Homo-oligomer: A and B are copies of this chain.
């Protein structure tokens, strides 16, 4: 156990949840082992993040229940058999596990279904099919009848989105691992190296220093393809390499960094022009992160800088304010500015984005670009968000917009043709909102044109 995470921490978290609910119980299923190609061959084990937050144990086959009426927590699970111990080595008893997280009671799993009978049971949206089946079985419902508790979701968001000091320590560690992944890739980024080699190096660091990657590594010279998990290319002189990756530390807190590297070691003039726009947008949005600022404002700030830059080099045109208000920039940045990060790299995305990034004061927009923003609401101390502007030249998207003559008063489609092989640029760091303002998590990872070129050429 991590000495920072005392049993009391888990009990306090559960107490805060209990305080919001006069009746019923909250039910947290652990994640099981997830099969690859037959039942006994499983993926790396990853506990559910809500289970980790309230019950702290990274093991399958346990269920945590918070009984709101009795204000106590029960850990349902069975001790290992001697056969298990022969194959798996010594295992802690359920009672020891309960002590580690200050759960008041332990009961066998076989009692869970009858325990729940007649109670008002709150649960979060199940995302693993095994747990959908298990929830339905436990509650005597069909899969279609399972209804997650919006109240529970909202209360958990209000707790998990404000990171405590112990959590920040973990996130800094995850960011150190994540930064090291990037630094090693920078070291080996040379023409002739393969994307797969760099991918293997980064994966190895995440596994060696922590608990693996926080999401499938994006590492590609085709950075304009946003969800690109192909690593089959050889690095070529003149191209850009986008790497978007993160690590989990052993407590499963996440990092998420993006850097874009010129394979040649030096940006071309055209690459540098675009890079500078994204860099300025990233720096300005980070500088503007502080309590009380709506993150929607940071998004507007970033896309205004990008639009202004694209106008300066003649790819966009027209009135700047109007252009930004209409979302014309969505051609170049069809994603938002970032997301909350914590025990999940897109924190609490199992609840759906709107519960995490929006609240009663701000609703999701329907305007291009704006509608893709994951985290829009007002920043508060303890929030950790990513800031990740980008500019991409996506041939398919350019062709569609051009054909539709979409926003043609603002976009210079003819000039854009020359950028179709450019690729994409994204720059991303994670930012902790503090009482006074904010700070980027982890040690500085080369980011400016000069810093990137220096490390690539060293």
Question: Which residues of the other chain, B, contact A2 by a CB distance below 8 angstroms?
Answer: none
A344 to B147, CA, bound (A): 37
In the complex, whether A397 has a CB less than 8 A from a CB of chain B is yes
* A188-216 vs B, Cβ < 8 Å mask (1 yes, 0 no): 00000000110111011101110000011
Q: With an 8 A cutoff between CB atoms, is A37 at the interface?
A: yes
| Residue in chain B with minimal CB distance to A39 | B127
Q: Output the residue of A49, A86, A346 with the most chain B CB within 10 A.
A: A86
Partner of A128, one of B46, B129, B199, B222: B129
Interface string of A131-155 (1 = CB under 8 A from B): 0110000000001000000000000
Interface string of A211-239 (1 = CB under 8 A from B): 00001100000100111101000000000
The yes or no answer to A3 lying at the interface (CB within 8 A) is no
- Report if A34 contacts B (CB, 8 A): yes
Cβ A89 vs Cβ B334 within 8 A: no
The verdict on A43 contacting B43 (CB below 8 Å), with A89-B225, A129-B130 known, is yes
A225 touches B87 (CB 8 A): yes
- Per the bound structure, the CA–CA distance linking A400 and B225 in Å amounts to 59
Query: What's the Cα separation between A346 and B38 when bound, in Å?
Result: 9
Q: Given the known inter-chain contacts A133-B143, A200-B208, A207-B200, please indicate yes or no for A35 contacting B86, CB distance below 8 A.
A: no
A269 within 8 A of B: no
Q: Is the CB of B127 within 8 A of A38?
A: yes
Q: Is the CB of B228 within 8 A of A208?
A: no
Give the residues in chain B near A205, CB-CB below 8 Å.
Answer: 200
Counting CB contacts under 8 A, is A82 at the interface?
yes
The smallest beta-carbon distance between A195 and chain B, in angstroms, is 10
A444 to chain B, nearest CB (A): 25
Asked whether any CB of chain B lies closer than 8 Å to the CB of A41, the reply is yes
Q: Contacts A204-B204, A208-B199; is A133 near B129 (CB within 8 Å)?
A: yes
In the assembled complex, the Cα of A36 lies from the Cα of B163 at a distance in Å of 22
A252 CB to nearest B CB, Å: 8
Asked if A272 is at the interface of the complex by the 8 Å CB criterion, the answer is no
| This chain's copy number in the assembly | 2
Which secondary structure dominates where chain A touches chain B? Answer: mixed
Q: Is the CB of B346 within 8 A of A40?
A: yes
**Which of A36, A205, A394, A396 has most chain B Cβ within 10 Å?**
A36
Chain B residues with CB below 8 A from A204, complex form: 200-201, 203-204, 207
Chain A 72-110, CB-CB to B under 8 Å as 1, else 0, gives 000000000010011111100000000000000000000
Q: Does A48 contact B (CB under 8 A)?
A: yes
Which residues of A, 320-350, contact B by the 8 Å Cβ criterion? 334, 343-346, 348-350
Whether the pair B82, A40 counts as a contact (CB closer than 8 A) is: no
In the complex, A88 Cα to B397 Cα: how many Å?
12
A260-303 contacts to B (CB < 8 Å):
none
Residues of chain A touching chain B, judged by Cβ–Cβ distance below 8 Å, are 31, 34-44, 46, 48-49, 82, 85-90, 127-130, 132-133, 143, 196-197, 199-201, 203-205, 207-209, 215-216, 222, 225-228, 230, 334, 343-346, 348-350, 394, 396-397, 400
Q: A-B pairs with the 8 shortest C-beta distances?
A: A200-B208, A204-B204, A129-B129, A89-B225, A38-B350, A38-B349, A129-B130, A200-B204
17 more contacts with CB within 8 A, not counting A37-B344, A87-B225, are A35-B128, A37-B48, A37-B49, A38-B346, A38-B349, A39-B350, A40-B349, A41-B215, A41-B349, A42-B216, A82-B400, A85-B396, A88-B227, A133-B133, A200-B205, A201-B208, A203-B204
